[in-house]
Chain A
Amino acid sequence: MQLESNGFNKSYSGKLIIVEGLDGSGKSTQLYLLKCWLVNQDIPVFFTEWNSSSLVKKSTKRAKKLNQLSPTTFSLIHASDFADRYEKTILPHLKAGYLVLADRYVYTAYARDIARGCDSEWVRNVYEFAVKPDLALYFEAPLEVSINRIISGRTELKYHEAGMDLNLSSDKVESFKLFQGIIKREYDNMAEDEDFVIIDATKQIEKQQKKLRKIVTKRILNNFSPPVCGKYNNNKMKEGHSDEASV
């Protein structure tokens, strides 16, 4: 029986899968492929990504433009944004029995906020209301690999994206490299405590996906029973799952 942080029994049948990793680690691509596979099986899926709530967007954008955010307000404004998404979409979907796929979760906030100088215990307390994922996948690649993917694919880095507010370097690319290095260290540090399943993000896309589907089948689908209604009546899960995940 899984427990929520407040000690109550989890009162829903949905499942939460999250992916974490540096920009350019390929996690969004992998999550997209996973989603396609799940949708094809008529499994009720809900997808959500970091920073997509409409309410706080306006304020965050303006504040970021003005560079008037401190590490604390940066952290809190993103926490508000996450809370809005969590309370309005993530939790209701979990309660209704969906399989929720999240591109980045609270660990992104832990890594970024701690890199910006917030106290690590404080940040964890801010996000204490968020349930622990049923499966947390960490796409791990050597720093140079993900950095090269980003720098070669994008024209210009944004101010906060490059971690310019940390005053690591006045050169955006250099600052980005240093910032990503700190974030990778934070991810690596929490991998064990937070039960991350580590995926080697340097492997071929197809191979990673195959591994992902295997893990998801074993850890989630074999033990997942969403409410059956409407188009989900055809839910192929009823026919039982083979461990042989096809790509």
Chain B
Amino acid sequence: MKQAFRYYGQGIPYIKEKDYIGQLIVVEGPDYAGRSTHIMLLQKWLESEGHAVLSCGLSRSTLIGEAIQDAKEGNVLGKKTLSLLYATDFADQLENKVLPALKAGYVVLLDRYIFTLMARDMARGASKEWLVKLFGFAPIPNLIFFLKVSPQVLIYRALKKYAALNFWESGMDMSFSNDTYESFLIYQSLIANYFDEMIKEYDFIVLDGGKDSEIVQGKMKKSIIEYFIKMGMIANDELE
């Protein structure tokens, strides 16, 4: 099923192939929203249905992952520097992993997309206009799931998993509060607001990430099946 790449901005001018045959599915949401669990479950399911699947996430690239890690440990980077480093990493993943897989016909499941990067940077004072133009090279995904979870539930899950709150996930670099607990709530509420503002604009499929994961997973599968039918990838009767 051939489709032309559509981008949020001017795209990637030097890329010659303008079409792809895969599907780009993004799972967005804050830390502890359950993104990786859902991606794992979706991958299993899609593979059992006969689709080739690539799942990947932000900031797992080899290009500048080290610089980001170094910087985080020393906590010495300016805001612009950090946003540009994350953008570099994102572009690297996109060009070297995501686009080749889409051209080869894979269903690509992406753990986070430009929206997380935008929300984080906006929380740190970057202008939305600058960010939208910066990420103008990002293709528009076929589906975007957004796992919405309230900061109170996130904090409960974070503590359950690690027993303590992480410096960056609590936005401690922002100096909202000396208290990690309070800082986490303030920071994650800010992020949640920025996500909310993006729901309509970017056509998110909103799911209640606070619900039982089986229920959420069921809704995701349903949306994907509906989309595949619409795209003519599977016929209605195949589902029986």
Report A's interface with B, CB cutoff 8 A. Answer: 6, 55-56, 58-59, 63, 68-73, 76-77, 79-80, 83-84, 86-88, 116-119, 121-122, 125-126, 128-129
Contact = CB atoms under 8 A, between A and B. Distances in A.
B88 interface: yes
Nearest to B9: A122
| Interface SS majority for chain A | helix
B12 to A, nearest CB: 6
A121 B136 CA distance: 11
Contact of B88 (A58, A73, A87, A122): A73
Contacts of A116: 14
B134 interface: yes
Contacts of A129: 80, 130
B10 A80 contact: no
A86 B82 CA distance: 12
A128 B64 CA distance: 22
Interface stretch (B46-54, B65-73, B180-188, B212-220): B65-73
Given A117-B14, A126-B134, A55 B70 contact: yes
Interface of B: 9-10, 12-14, 63-64, 66-67, 70-71, 76-81, 84-85, 87-88, 91-92, 95-96, 127, 130, 133-134, 136-137
B134 A80 contact: no
Contacts of A70: 14, 91-92, 95-96
A68 B133 contact: no
B240 to A, nearest CB: 45
B91 A56 contact: no
A80 B92 contact: no
Nearest to A70: B95
B10 A119 contact: yes
**4 A-B pairs closest in CB distance:** A87-B78, A117-B14, A76-B88, A80-B84
Nearest to B127: A6
29 contacts: A55-B67, A55-B81, A59-B63, A59-B67, A63-B63, A63-B64, A68-B96, A70-B14, A70-B95, A71-B14, A72-B12, A72-B91, A76-B87, A76-B88, A77-B88, A80-B67, A83-B80, A83-B84, A84-B81, A87-B78, A87-B79, A87-B81, A116-B14, A117-B13, A117-B14, A119-B13, A122-B134, A125-B130, A126-B84
